[in-house]
Amino acid sequence: MHIAMNTVVSITYELRDTDGNILESTSEPVTYLHGGYDNIFPKVEEELHGKKVGDSVALVLEPVDAFGEYDEELVQIEPQSAFPVDKLEVGMQFEGEDPSGDVVLYTITDIGDGKVVVDGNHPWAGERVNFTCTVTDIRTATKEEINHGHVHGPGGHHH
């Protein structure tokens, strides 16, 4: 079987920065619904299309194809009193809105003098990354998975 529209694909993968440092890797396969459901980077999905179990893919993802360009507008300085938590720590995350009103996950990057710096960029935004993966399994998606736009069961979403 080859990867095609509405197949459930399992892969193991490794993501490295341009210096070769591992940013993320899997020891167990991860599973996604193939076919434009935004469950994986579109460029990776495009490269995997037509592959079969055992095939590998290696590609360089520019920021626009991975975690996006770094957006200075997503870095904000807020008064510490604006946070509902008594004890704030660098690395804590909060949901907020970006300038266009979209919900964004903000990470505290600095605290000092009653001010808190929050950053709504993904930690790897603006970075070129090297993505490698190996296809470990392919199956036909169920009607329910197709209707919901994601994988159900082991390795997928549970309702």
- CATH code, domain with 115: 2.40.10.330
Q: Are residues 129 and 63 in the same domain?
A: yes
One-character DSSP codes across 32-91? EEETTSSSS-HHHHHHHTT-BTT-EEEEEE-GGGTT----GGGEEEEEGGGSS-SS--TT
Q: Say whether both 112 and 137 belong to one domain.
A: no
Give yes or no: residues 22 and 61 share one domain. Answer: yes
Q: Output the pLDDT for position 159.
A: 46
Rounded to whole angstroms, what are the CA distances from 90 to 53, 97, 118, 151? 42, 19, 9, 34
User: CATH number, domain at 52?
Assistant: 3.10.50.40
Q: What is the pLDDT of residues 34-93, one digit of tens each?
A: 999 999 999 999 999 999 999 999 999 999 999 999 999 899 999 999 888 778 999 999
Q: What is the pLDDT of residues 108-143, one digit of tens each?
A: 999 999 999 999 999 999 999 999 999 999 999 999
Distances in Å between the Cα of 65 and the Cα atoms of 23, 28, 39, 97 are 16, 24, 13, 23
Does some domain include residue 103? yes
Q: Which pTM was predicted? A: 0.82
Indicate whether 158 belongs to any domain.
Answer: no
* Domain carrying residue 24: 7-67+125-148
Per-residue pLDDT, 55: 98
